Structure 1
Amino acid sequence: MPSWLEGLDRRARLRAKAGLTRRLRPRSATEDVVDLAGNDYLGLSRHPAVVAAAAEALTGYGLGATGSRLVRGSTDAHHALEDTLADWLGTGRTLVYSSGYLANLGAVRALVRPRSLLVSDAHNHASLIDGCKISGAETRVTPHLDVDAVEAALAGAPGRPAVVVTESVFSVDGDLAPLAELHDVARRYGALLLVDDAHALGVLGPAGAGAVAGAGLAGEPDVVVTATLSKALGGAGGVVAGPTELVRHLVDTGRTFIYDTAPPPAVVAGVLAAAGLARAGDALRAELADRAGTVTRRLGAAGLAVSAPAAGVVSVTAPGPETAVAWAADCRDRGVAVGCFRPPSTPDTRSRLRLTINVGIDRADFDRALDVIVECAP
């Protein structure tokens, strides 16, 4: 075996010893499990109107976009979705990407200027962390949800352009950032606020417009919002929302937009239909909040350490990585799919099961799944 492959094999053995091996597990279209691992919060990925819209676009446009947005990839569906999202989120314009990851990379890079300082929450998603790294700007990581630390970082860099970078609902523990307080601090020091609203879009805020709108910050000129289209909207892709000038800058200069093939028109058309349903989905959001509360009460009463969910993400602490893997496997064997998060996917050293609420699941099946999680607990 060549030496470089021996090196990779040695590192794989070390990961296995630490309980950090990861495996791809294919699922069939007819898999019979209760899915508390995916991010289909409002159950829209299989909604008949969403599927019908995607099927119609698939027939009309074919399988793929066939090119980047600036070549042949922009369709009527892409532009209609961008207009709908801008109106829903209350921003000047939006720009759709093929993934939320690329949207975050592009947004962070676009906001960096010479001498910029990026102030990033310690629990931020990998896409935000990577965006900060590849931007070339100095990055100061602040303790999770610590507004005073953010202010200290900004106060220590007087006169420098700065961007405060945060998620709204954090993807591992499901807690909510103090967006209004962060915005007050950022504005006081002339900084921008970049918020990844991926886990809040469709779930929080007026008409599901997200946590940024819920904090009263929609359309503020010093706030930029990113999100995925793969969670509450049940599809795939990402979006950057902000002032018209920012979107124009991204179209002209954003490498993760210019050089990437556009998301397929069928997916975009499905997301457009899902956005209409989500916007009118107050009853779905009420059911999601009720189920999240049920998870916290039921699992907490069983003696498990459970997070207090702000939206649809619930974190359950596991004793360690190997135990977390075994717990998740036992649940799967009994027909319940749960997320299993271990370092380095967690922002600290804790391993967790992550449960994501899906209101499309029958309530009786949902309640039975909670029983399984408790019964399989280590």
Structure 2
Amino acid sequence: MRFTPRQEVSKKIVDAQHAEVTAWRYECLKCGHVFRVYPKGVSQKQISKRVNGMAVMLYLLGLSYGAVEIVLSSLGMGIGKTSVFRAVQAVAQQVPGLKREKLLGGYQTKAVGADVTSVRCNGKWVTVGIAVDADNGMVLSIDELPGEDAQQLQAWLEPILEAVDADVLVSDDADAFKQVSDETGRSQQVCKSHVGRNTEALVAELAALIGAGQDHSLEAIGITCEQALRDLEALQEMIHTRRPEDQPRLEAIYLRYANARKPGKGQKHEVAYRMRNLFLDRWNLWPRLCFYRTWKDEYGNEILDGTNNHCERAIGWWIKERYRSMRGYKQEQSALGISRLIALAGNHLARGLRLADLMA
């Protein structure tokens, strides 16, 4: 196929260095089709890719669409905030992967961290799920979820776990994530920070109730207040040390409270029954809480740190930080696209990201 040049034409553009560029009109000798060839970084649009890239960069750094317009205009690049919006949305649509249906090509990890958050979009709250590499914090997927129950979380997470060949799920201590772990046949590490904070709060509340001496449910099962306080103190110590071998000790404490009377419908839970439930829950949770103590590399080093901090950090940095300066997104697709774009930039912090590669 042969082409012949027909005309040299000038084109005015919005750019940091050039106000005008030269394009060539070519004709296909076979079919007669005429088309233009533009210099690198210029298309049929008036705004150059350089300016669009600067607009996207400034937006990612936290400026609003209007603020980006003001900054670029002050630098001699007249671009409206609508054009800034279009540039950001166009780049967001080009983000490779970071969605359940299309993860980062070929990426694999043995542990995936998962969590959910919500953003306000057009007046309503939208649930967003985020999955990361639990070892290094690399964001794998950001997706809109219909809800947070176990079935919906499994439908979202199972394809991700399969795609990256993960053996371990790291999450908070929500029951829905435990069910996902069990249903998909993965081991689970429950975030020690979440469990620690929850346990500390419950222990403090129960100790205060026991100290007040107004609840006599412990006497009904033959346990003194002093014994109950010692048990709570022991639980605190075990939660802090998180030794796998302490599970039988937790079981023994639970059995002391196993016969606590279950309250009737509409009745308040008494201290003895709450103690029973607390120790039962921590006894059952123990293998998930201490999993990181037993999962080690070939040199005997713990692979995980026992927290879901990578997920928490990703939510804060890549989703909430941009969202806090706004009154909410207008479109759900914008919420996902912008979050994925910022997360992609975060994934490339160590080596840098060429926004030009995402420019259409």
| Higher RCO (Cα < 8 Å, 6 or more apart) | 1
TM-score band w.r.t. shorter chain: under 0.3
* TM-score under structure 1 length normalisation: 0.22
* TM-score under structure 2 length normalisation: 0.23
